[in-house]
Structure 1
């Protein structure tokens, strides 16, 4: 599922804001929840939380469509937007791209850090990975 998506990774941000901007994340959350929407409907929902221009929402949704995260088609006078990728598949794609980049350039450092991190924060997951590695070696 290749997307035309280029993003900046901001590790200090929370959730999807790490890779999408705050407005893009809010829009995608609405679209993933509703499964199809118009700029007008998304703008109405966002306006309940903050003051935002209709044209800002329209431009952001158009850019998300250009990036391949949203699909759009015309129905009458309005565009209807649907997700081009599920939230779960999007998260998987982002994680794979980030890890591919780290492992391509800094394999030893990245792996050592992941092991140390899991030993400190999630020993159960570290044991699961150990079992998976042992099973792959045995196969």
Structure 2
């Protein structure tokens, strides 16, 4: 699934979702198979959120292909179609490909510059990835 709106100035899930969508996804990643009522109850810790608003947002997330919906009697249960890790991996991969496609060497140079602030284990994993890539391309 492709998220069309990436917000540069935001952090975490808010880069991909609106604030309420992000909270709902976090709740469902923690408790897959929850009902609208259960999600609404979890949201009330933050602020009072209308049942119909939660239902609308959750059904839009189903329409976007981010949530699956099953019936248990008269109750709809919702679960993410991907784990949070899979979602973040797929989105970062998609974003990286788009940056390289559009900006080429500039994007790669900026990514390498960002490594100056990264921990040494990330740099080591990158070195291993490059070695493997060179080995596979020969």
C-alpha distance after superposition, 1:49-73 (max 9, x if no partner): 1021111100000011111111002
Q: Is the 8 A contact 2:3 2:16 kept in 1?
A: no
Q: Give the TM-score, by structure 1 length.
A: 0.88
* In structure 2, C-alpha distance between the alignment counterparts of 1:93 and 1:132, rounded to whole Å: 18
C-alpha distance after superposition, 1:68-117 (max 9, x if no partner): 11100222222111121111100011101111110111111110001111
Write out the 4+ residue segments of structure 1 that deviate beyond 4 Å after TM superposition: none
Q: Per-residue deviation at 1:135?
A: 4.0
**Structure 1 alignment gaps of length 5 or more:** none
RMSD: 1.6
**Structure 2 alignment gaps of length 5 or more:** none
Does 1:29 pair with 2:45?
A: no
Does 1:101 pair with 2:98?
A: yes
How many residue pairs get matched?
A: 135
* In structure 1, C-alpha distance between the alignment counterparts of 2:125 and 2:69, rounded to whole Å: 42
Q: Give the TM-score, by structure 2 length.
A: 0.89
